[in-house]
């Protein structure tokens, strides 16, 4: 069968840069699915995307579908012919319906019955007929939020379509796609090469466009930008900040990338660099430059879509545009400094945090009280913690945060430093929001850890206190994320405190604002404990490991964490499977027959294997007790692995449910000892092996 290379290009007005990559990938995926569904084989599909075009090159695709046979079923052979072998009315009706004669009738076995049928040869459709339908279907199913119609056309697309190319090798495939007749004419760069370009073959596409100042391949364009940006940064000994979504967006804005370095006045470097970076990235799509200490340098890189004869003009134009943006940030920064942070509490007293829980100033005073109570646990200085808590929300009323909301906390850190606060207090103002998302960094200072904990606990306990716990997917205060933040702050800072103690400290700070302290405490503790599974599953811990620890309901997150790590380690030991099974067996026996109280009576051990098991338990106990005391659960479980052989031997040779009541009671006590040893760490009987 003949094989062909096909080129499809949809020429449009400038496509939305933030979704260009998505459109390209979806067009490819839909087309591949369409080709597969039609039974057309191909070697590969290459997808291209630039501001004014989406294109596909399909390599070595079948010229047509394979011919097939379709079977049409008729009556059973028994009912199709009479005793003389002549067609019955039933068969004649079938032949008439299919428009065939008796010599075209075949038979086939349908289960136990032989039936008549007609095998009709179906000729495969050609690529020329199928491809336009596949492509149009793919375009109709692209993820486009808002489609638009242009001029008199009724078809819709994300932007007005200007031209369509559809080539099979060197032949145009006759088709109308998006109301445009397909041809072999494309267009280059809007300014450098606006004339029409005739493509002789599907393989000419990339080279023909490159000559016309268009790099159609997204990845190739991105690589060019990366290289140019690095070269321009290196010249001034700096490192470019290139967030991946900004990199994609800039790549989607240009057909012929030309990176240029511009500069701004050094005086702007006095402004918090986060504000300058935000405005340059978000509003201007610039790449900012920093030195090796991550300090902003007075340069930025812009990627132009034109190879100018006078690049200095473009650089100057960009410098002119960015100056007012930086001046605005500078103005807000200087305005804010006219009043000290602490004096902003009046404004906080007018900002509602939550109708029933009061204002942001009420929240600040509660956090301050809670932070002081938490200080002995976190190791922070109580005076620093109180001061940081009272200043924590003040920057929310600043002009800088009003203009750049993502600077909350960061602005506070700058203003506190300017006012001469120490590093613990200043840094805590920015750190109070950490971690912001799963896997984010935690505060570095003890004061920051204290405020981060206090803020989250205050919100969580308060929202539970007024009966507005999250339900289903509704979680307006992001309490689920906040709860995992609390668990991380406790475990990763090795804070030895129970969840209940933390919740009660937060309730003390609320006083009578929350009516039912007991119910709130029970609900909030249960909610926090319920987040263990999500937290550890995120870290790749298996569910049965988490359940083995949850069976014991440890009170402190740190203790829970140590047990999870121990069980995770134990699970990979060669003895784990057999011991999990043995524990399951022990648990089942003890569930049916409770072990009598009291110690194992050594004189009543008669079988060798039960004596050996008892001796091993006696030897292991003094080794394990100090390990449990220091919460070294991993070492303790590794020691218990030595019980595998004696436990297996015991079950192989000893009848627990002996007729002699004394023997039976003694053996049940022995099993209870084993169970107690293991459940001092976790219930390993729930491990799946």
- pLDDT tens figures, 286-322: 999 999 999 999 999 999 999 999 999 999 999 999 9
Closest CA to 300 of 310, 290, 313: 290
Confidence of residue 152 (pLDDT cuts 50, 70, 90): low
- Per-residue pLDDT, averaged over 254-262, amounts to 97
Domain 343-540: give its CATH code. 1.10.3210
689 in Cβ contact with 620 (< 8 Å): no
200 in Cβ contact with 170 (< 8 Å): yes
> Residue 597: what pLDDT?
83
- pTM attached to this predicted model: 0.80
Give every CB contact of residue 80 below 8 A, 6+ residues apart in sequence.
Answer: 74, 87, 88, 90, 91, 94, 105, 116
Q: Are strands 196-198 and 239-241 parallel, antiparallel or unpaired?
A: unpaired
- The upper half-sphere exposure of residue 398, i.e. CA atoms within 13 Å in the direction of its Cβ, equals 35
- The upper half-sphere exposure of residue 304, i.e. CA atoms within 13 Å in the direction of its Cβ, equals 19
| Mean of the per-residue pLDDT values of the chain | 93
Closest CA to 487 of 549, 448, 534: 534
Confidence of residue 688 (pLDDT cuts 50, 70, 90): confident
> How long a stretch of residues is the chain?
689
CA pair distance 567, 594, nearest whole angstrom: 26
For domain 576-686, say whether CATH 1.10.730.10 is its number: yes
107 in Cβ contact with 74 (< 8 Å): no
> Residue 463: what pLDDT?
96
DSSP 168: E
> Residue 102: what pLDDT?
84
CA pair distance 31, 164, nearest whole angstrom: 16
User: CA 464, 469, 475, 479 torsion: positive or negative?
Assistant: positive
Beta sheet of 106-110, edge-to-edge order: 68-76, 113-122, 106-110
Within 10 Å of residue 176's Cβ, how many Cβ atoms?
Answer: 13
Query: Which pair of tokens denotes residue 495?
Result: 């804070």
Q: How far is CA 124 from CA 35, 68, 417, 597, in A?
A: 13, 7, 76, 82
- pLDDT tens figures, 34-93: 999 999 999 999 999 999 999 999 999 999 988 888 889 999 988 888 888 888 998 889
CA pair distance 260, 247, nearest whole angstrom: 15
Closest CA to 333 of 384, 293, 380, 278: 278
> Residue 84: what pLDDT?
86
Closest CA to 600 of 527, 509, 666: 666
Q: Is 549 helix (H, G, I), strand (E, B) or coil?
A: helix
Among the residue ranges 84-88, 155-159, 191-195, 247-251, the one predicted with the least confidence is 155-159
Confidence of residue 153 (pLDDT cuts 50, 70, 90): low
- φ, ψ for residue 455, nearest 5 deg: -60, -45
- pLDDT tens figures, 493-541: 999 999 999 999 999 999 999 999 999 999 999 999 999 999 999 999 9
Question: Higher pLDDT residue, 155 or 323?
Answer: 323
For the chain, what is the largest distance between any 2 Cα atoms, rounded to a whole number of angstroms? 114
1 in Cβ contact with 25 (< 8 Å): no
514 in Cβ contact with 507 (< 8 Å): yes
- Per-residue pLDDT, averaged over 214-235, amounts to 98
Q: How far is CA 413 from CA 176, 328, 409, 449, 515, in A?
A: 61, 20, 6, 15, 36
417 in Cβ contact with 426 (< 8 Å): yes
Question: Higher pLDDT residue, 155 or 5?
Answer: 5
> Residue 83: what pLDDT?
85
- pLDDT tens figures, 403-423: 999 999 999 999 999 999 999
CA pair distance 537, 130, nearest whole angstrom: 47
> Residue 689: what pLDDT?
67
> Residue 388: what pLDDT?
98
Per domain, the residue ranges of the chain are 3-65+126-211, 68-122, 218-336, 343-540, 576-686
> Residue 154: what pLDDT?
60
- pLDDT tens figures, 545-564: 999 999 999 999 999 999 99
For residue 4, pLDDT beyond 80: yes
Residue with tokens 């009003």: 402
List residues bridging with 260 in a β-sheet.
302
Our CA dihedral for 13, 17, 22, 26, rounded to 10 degrees, sits at 0
Q: Prior bond to 491 cis, omega within 30?
A: no
Give every CB contact of residue 561 below 8 A, 6+ residues apart in sequence.
Answer: 491
Q: How far is CA 74 from CA 79, 87, 105, 183, 511, in A?
A: 10, 12, 9, 47, 84
For residue 472, pLDDT beyond 90: no
Q: Are strands 358-359 and 352-354 parallel, antiparallel or unpaired?
A: antiparallel
Q: Are strands 53-62 and 171-172 parallel, antiparallel or unpaired?
A: unpaired
> Residue 660: what pLDDT?
84
Whole-angstrom distance between the N-terminal and C-terminal Cα of the chain?
52
> Residue 68: what pLDDT?
83
Q: How far is CA 11 from CA 140, 176, 220, 251, 455, in A?
A: 16, 14, 19, 18, 53
CATH class of 3-65+126-211: alpha beta
């Amino acid at each position: 069968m003949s094989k062909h290379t096909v080129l499809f290009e949809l020429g449009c007005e400038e496509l939305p840069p933030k979704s260009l990559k998505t459109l390209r990938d979806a067009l490819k995926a839909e087309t591949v699915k369409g080709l597969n569904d039609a039974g057309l084989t191909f070697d590969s599909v290459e997808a291209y995307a630039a501001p004014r075009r989406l294109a596909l090159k399909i390599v070595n695709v079948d010229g047509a579908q394979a011919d097939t046979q379709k079977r049409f079923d008729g009556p059973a052979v028994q009912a199709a012919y009479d005793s003389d072998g002549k067609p019955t009315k039933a068969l004649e009706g079938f032949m008439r319906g299919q428009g065939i004669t008796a010599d075209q009738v075949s038979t086939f076995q349908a289960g136990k019955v032989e039936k008549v049928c007609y095998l009709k040869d179906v000729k495969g459709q050609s690529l020329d007929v199928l491809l336009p339908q596949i492509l149009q279907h793919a375009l109709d199913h692209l993820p486009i939020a808002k489609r638009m119609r242009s001029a008199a056309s009724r078809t819709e697309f994300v932007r007005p379509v200007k031209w369509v190319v559809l080539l099979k090798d060197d032949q145009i495939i006759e088709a109308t796609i998006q109301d445009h007749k397909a041809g072999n004419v494309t267009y280059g760069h809007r300014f450098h090469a606006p004339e029409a370009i005739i493509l002789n073959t599907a393989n000419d596409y990339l080279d023909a466009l490159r000559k016309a100042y268009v790099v159609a391949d997204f990845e190739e364009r991105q690589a060019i930008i990366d290289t140019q940006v690095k070269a321009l940064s290196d010249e001034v000994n700096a490192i470019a900040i290139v967030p991946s979504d900004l990199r994609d967006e800039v790549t989607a804005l240009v057909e012929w990338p030309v990176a240029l370095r511009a500069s701004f006045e050094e005086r702007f470097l006095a402004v918090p660099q986060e504000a300058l970076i935000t405005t340059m990235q978000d509003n201007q799509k610039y790449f900012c430059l920093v030195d090796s200490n991550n300090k902003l340098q007075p340069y930025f890189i812009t990627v132009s879509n034109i190879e100018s004869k006078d690049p200095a003009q473009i650089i100057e134009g960009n410098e002119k545009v960015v100056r007012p943006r930086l001046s605005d940030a500078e103005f807000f920064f200087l305005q804010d400094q006219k009043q000290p942070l602490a004096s902003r509490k009046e404004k906080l007293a007018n900002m509602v945090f939550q109708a029933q829980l009061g204002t942001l100033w009420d929240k600040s005073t509660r956090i301050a009280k809670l932070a002081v109570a938490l200080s002995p646990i976190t190791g922070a200085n109580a005076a620093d913690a109180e001061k940081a808590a009272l200043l924590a929300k003040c920057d929310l009323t600043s002009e800088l945060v009003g203009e750049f909301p993502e600077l909350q906390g960061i602005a506070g850190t700058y203003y506190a430093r300017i006012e001469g606060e120490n590093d613990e207090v200043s840094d805590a103002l920015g750190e109070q929001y950490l971690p912001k998302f799963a896997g984010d960094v935690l505060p570095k200072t003890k004061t920051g850890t204290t405020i981060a904990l206090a803020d989250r606990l205050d919100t969580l306990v308060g929202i539970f206190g007024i009966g507005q716990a999250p339900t289903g997917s509704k979680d307006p205060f992001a309490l689920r994320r906040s709860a995992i933040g609390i668990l991380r702050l406790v475990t990763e800072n090795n804070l030895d405190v129970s969840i209940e103690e933390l919740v009660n400290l937060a309730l003390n700070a609320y006083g009578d604002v929350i009516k039912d302290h007991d119910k709130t405490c029970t609900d909030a503790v249960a909610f926090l404990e319920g987040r263990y599974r999500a937290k550890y599953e995120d870290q790749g811990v298996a569910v049965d490991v988490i359940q083995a620890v949850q069976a014991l309901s440890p009170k402190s997150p740190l203790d829970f964490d140590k047990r999870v790590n121990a069980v995770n380690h134990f699970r990979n030991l060669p003895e784990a499977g057999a011991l999990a099974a043995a524990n399951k067996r022990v648990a089942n026996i003890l569930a049916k027959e409770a072990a009598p109280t009291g110690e194992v009576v050594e004189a009543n051990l008669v079988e060798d294997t039960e004596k050996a098991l008892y001796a091993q338990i006696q030897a292991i106990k003094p080794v394990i007790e100090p390990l449990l005391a220091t919460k070294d659960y991993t070492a303790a479980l590794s020691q218990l692995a030595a019980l595998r052989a004696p436990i297996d031997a015991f079950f192989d040779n000893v009848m627990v449910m002996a007729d002699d009541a004394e023997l039976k009671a003694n053996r049940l006590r022995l099993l209870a000892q084993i169970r107690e040893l293991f459940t001092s760490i976790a219930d390993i009987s729930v491990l799946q092996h």
